[in-house]
Amino acid sequence: MDYRLSMTNDPEALQKFLQNAQSIYDSTSNKVHMKNPMLFDMGVAIEDFNSEALVKKHIKTFHKRYRLVMVAEYFEESLILLRDLLCWTTEDVVVFKLNTRKDDSIVSLTEKAKQNIRDWNNGDVLLYEHFNRTIQKTIDDYGRSRMAQRSPHSERKLRNCTRSASKQTKLIRRKAISRSGSRLAYTSMLSFSRRNRTGTRTARA
């Protein structure tokens, strides 16, 4: 649990917090990410968390401000929508799965604990539910069958993009280390290469 509560290595920290969340929250001076972390990251004032009307007002503002809000559970669909919205190619949205949590490290929660978390972060729940509905409608408008289709050419292109990116990264690494014997040069060259690709992509768009 958060170091601020002196529960860093306590396996029961979450349960203890949820049992007395409001009291612990009120007694803590640094409240960052202790409640409604998504709303906090979106710039909503902590003082607005307890007003459902204000939270809904903020969500309405976000809805008007952003043409697309990506949802983790629909990450692939979100990338396809983002690609089309920005007139990108498949190459522009190729992703690599890194640093993901292992299945055996995930802690199962009871239904009561899940409900307590939802109740405590009720503002984030409103935010999530709104944009979950929004992306579902966007996917429907785009066409679920159209989104699900993967032609052999598209699949082949995706595999080629992945192999090309992997080869380029390895090549940059070998050149940098052979020149200086240092990983610092590799980091600088990789950053330079990414900037170049970004510039090319912007010009193309």
pLDDT, tens digit (0-9, with 9 covering 90-100), for 179-192? 555 554 444 444 44
Based on the domain organization, do 103 and 163 belong to the same domain?
no
More confident residue, 100 or 123: 123
Residue 202 is predicted with a pLDDT of: 36
Q: Domain range holding 119?
A: 36-149
CB-based contact 38:127 (threshold 8 Å): yes
Lowest mean pLDDT among 100-114, 161-175, 178-192: 178-192
| 97 vs 108: CA distance, rounded Å | 23
Based on the domain organization, do 66 and 106 belong to the same domain?
yes
Based on the domain organization, do 44 and 144 belong to the same domain?
yes
Confidence (pTM): 0.70
Q: How many domains does the chain have?
A: 3
| 152 vs 157: CA distance, rounded Å | 8
Based on the domain organization, do 176 and 78 belong to the same domain?
no
Confidence of residue 174 (pLDDT cuts 50, 70, 90): low
Residue 192 is predicted with a pLDDT of: 46
Based on the domain organization, do 79 and 135 belong to the same domain?
yes
Confidence of residue 75 (pLDDT cuts 50, 70, 90): confident
Based on the domain organization, do 10 and 52 belong to the same domain?
no
Based on the domain organization, do 67 and 158 belong to the same domain?
no
| 176 vs 8: CA distance, rounded Å | 40
Confidence of residue 205 (pLDDT cuts 50, 70, 90): very low
Based on the domain organization, do 186 and 200 belong to the same domain?
yes
Whole-number average pLDDT of the chain:
79
Residue 180 is predicted with a pLDDT of: 55
Based on the domain organization, do 72 and 144 belong to the same domain?
yes
More confident residue, 192 or 10: 10
Nearest 5°: phi and psi at 171?
Answer: -65, -45
Say if residue 16's pLDDT is above 70: yes
Coil, helix or strand for 135? helix
Coil, helix or strand for 97? coil
| 161 vs 72: CA distance, rounded Å | 23
Say if residue 56's pLDDT is above 50: yes
Based on the domain organization, do 158 and 143 belong to the same domain?
no
Based on the domain organization, do 82 and 182 belong to the same domain?
no
Based on the domain organization, do 41 and 132 belong to the same domain?
yes
